[in-house]
Amino acid sequence: MMASNTTTILLLLLLLSVPITTHSSSETETIISRFQHYLRINTAHPTPNYHEAVDFLKSQADSLSLESQTIELVNAKPLLLIKWSGSQPNLPSILLYSHTDVVPAEHDKWSHHPFGAHIDNGCIYARGSQDMKCVGMQYLEAIRRLKSSGFQPLRSVYLAFAPDEEIGGHDGAEKFSQSEIFDQLNVGVVLDEGLASPEEKYRAFYAERSPWWLIIKAVGAPGHGAKLYDNSAMENLLKSIENIRRFRASQFDLVKAGLKAEGDVVSVNMAFLKAGTPSPTGFVMNLQPSEAEAGFDIRVPPTADPESLERRIAEEWAPASRNMSFSFKQKVSVRDKFGNPVLTKTDSSNPWWSLLENAIEKAGGKLGKPEVFPASTDARYFRERGLPAIGFSPMANTPILLHDHNEFLSKDEYLKGIEIYESIIKAYASFEGNGSEGGSRDEL
């Protein structure tokens, strides 16, 4: 009898030590298959197949008995809006945002077809696997699991699948955020995309750097190629380029030394250099040109002093005293319409951030230090309205491959991300507070 009890206890301990499988093999295959289907729809610029993507996503909403509507704020650029109604619709809603478009891919540079969604060694290779079709499908899969468990949200949950992000978002998120339709949603918080993390901790972003696309032009009298004289267009432009190079190095040194993250410094990179007098065989070699021009992609964090930077441009990089001028092809403000830095608070005044941290931990994940996104996302349009917006893509232990060749995401990370979003959506949709502390909702 004693031996039998001992055996029984050992068997129970053994069973308890075996991890519980969340999905059966067939369920996992179905989940991955849906993701592959979405990835195989070619929504790359310049001719994204938006309507096929929207039709597929709408079919997923229908299968979950969710309300949906297709909105075309700009012709041929549909935005799909899906709604999961809450039991207390007077509470501010949750917006789970994603974009359907992806950047082009050079097929011959990929080991697998970029729109084949091929699985190799447990990894799904496809354009959009990280940026950001994974997130859009994870939203839906998380809701599928919550609904099957019988969960009923207090707050209404909206999913927006928008076009145009990869070319600026002006016909997608920007127009959507300014529309009467958006006003009627009574949004309290927005979740958008983040970045993969090569480490075990997930990354979350509370702000992003604003793009300033600067063009500097120098003019001067043309001269013989053998003549040395002051204030030629090329000489003055080269002086500016050297000044800019030194500034860039000083900012980059802070990153290299670990004193600041990439998103916390002003980055400057030359995008083009235009000079010389064309000839049928190339350029005239014995003539110094009368004009020279260079373009720079500058990214400015919300913590920077924009007035100081613009003075630097006017006084050091393109001074009128050297026959120089400058203009901006694009200049996005680092402040919202209330004059505040465009960022989402990450302290105790923002309950949405605390809920995010706790939900990730509850699902077995770890969240790293809050970051400024080094580039631009559509989240900026919602932050500009004073709304809290958090950039987050649950991809840990994953190389950052957005816009790169051979973009991929492992099946395990994708499935784990669904669990993470299930926890986040449940926490957000169950939150009974008004949530206005997290942004400038009272000012809207």
- Would you name the residues annotated as active-site residues? 101, 165
Read off the amino acid at residue 78: P
Rounded to an integer, what distance in angstroms lies between the CA atom of residue 342 and that of residue 326? 25
Rounded to an integer, what distance in angstroms lies between the CA atom of residue 160 and that of residue 69? 10
Contact call for residues 51 and 58 (beta carbons, < 8 A): no
User: How many angstroms separate the most distant Cα atoms in the chain?
Assistant: 107
Cα 202 to its chain centre, rounded Å, is 14
Q: What is the DSSP string of 279-345?
A: ETTEE-TTEE-SEEEEEEEEEE-TTS-HHHHHHHIIIIIS-GGGTEEEEEEEE--SB-TTSSBSB--
Classify residue 250 by its DSSP letter.
H
Contact call for residues 382 and 191 (beta carbons, < 8 A): no
Q: What is the DSSP string of 201-217?
A: SB-EEEEEPEEEEEEEE
HSE, CB side, 13 Å, CA atoms: give it for residue 421: 32
Triad 385, 441, 444: Cα angle to 5°: 60
Place of tokens 């203009």: 327
SS3 160: strand
Triad 371, 426, 388: Cα angle to 5°: 35
